[in-house]
Amino acid sequence: MIGILGGTFDPVHFGHLRPALDVRQALDLDEIRLIPCHVPPLRPQPHASAQQRTAMLRLAIEGIGGFVVDARELERDGPSYSLDTLELLRKDLPGKTICMLVGMDAFRGLTAWHRWRELLNNCHIVVMTRPRAAFPKEGELADYIQRHRVRDAGMLRTKSSGLLWFQEVTQMEISGTRLRAMLAAGEPADFLLPAGVLDFINKEGLYRN
């Protein structure tokens, strides 16, 4: 099984990387593909360029087995819709089961995603949660959970798509917004992101006012 984690990664930090590692280990995934978004449909345009964000991702996973950078969204014009990426991955990875990793906050906004009901036609969705997380109790998302959630992670290997799994992960209260504000203010960001990424940010003069 392949895990994919998309995002602006502006910049990539341990709040992205540690939960992804937790999922890889818990589900015994063959690899995690980090997919930087080109034009986010529901968020402001990234501050760093596509080339800079890709470079930071490559630095972040240097020497770490089982993690790769997949830059396919940067090669497409227009909004970077997850469904388009999943459909391309299904063509490029025939026979592979794809697990799309999303954080709980992103999952709560799933109904605003482009053609969101079609996502499970192409993958399983793995929601990364903190312990004892509260799930929606009513509405479209609650119905969606009821229909697709499995209670045994082994079920993910019995089908190529269509299932929803909630995986507890290490929660790190780090956000790109807060990191950028710290860097703009000249505050130290050590131990919040990989040292190689921080060195790159400093050399490039990124996120400075």
pTM of the model as a whole: 0.94
| pLDDT tens readout for residues 26-80 | 999 999 999 999 888 767 789 999 999 999 999 999 999 999 999 999 988 888 8
The Cα–Cα gap between 98 and 27 comes to 12
| pLDDT tens readout for residues 6-35 | 999 999 999 999 999 999 999 999 999 999
Tell me the mean pLDDT in the region 150-175.
Answer: 94
CA nearest neighbour of 39 among 79, 85, 5? 79
156 CB-near residues (< 8 Å, 6+ apart): 1, 27, 97, 99, 124, 150, 163, 165
Give the torsion through C-alpha atoms of 178, 180, 182, 183, to 10 deg. Answer: 160
| pLDDT tens readout for residues 101-123 | 999 999 999 999 999 999 999 99
Residues facing 2 on adjacent strands? 31, 98
- pLDDT of 136 above 90: no
DSSP 191: T
Tell me the mean pLDDT in the region 195-204.
Answer: 97
Length of the chain counted residue by residue: 209
Question: What percent of the chain shows pLDDT beyond 70?
Answer: 100
10 CB-near residues (< 8 Å, 6+ apart): 46, 47, 48, 53, 176, 180
Query: What pLDDT, on a 0 to 100 scale, did the predictor assign at position 148?
Result: 97
| pLDDT tens readout for residues 184-194 | 999 999 999 99
Query: What pLDDT, on a 0 to 100 scale, did the predictor assign at position 133?
Result: 76
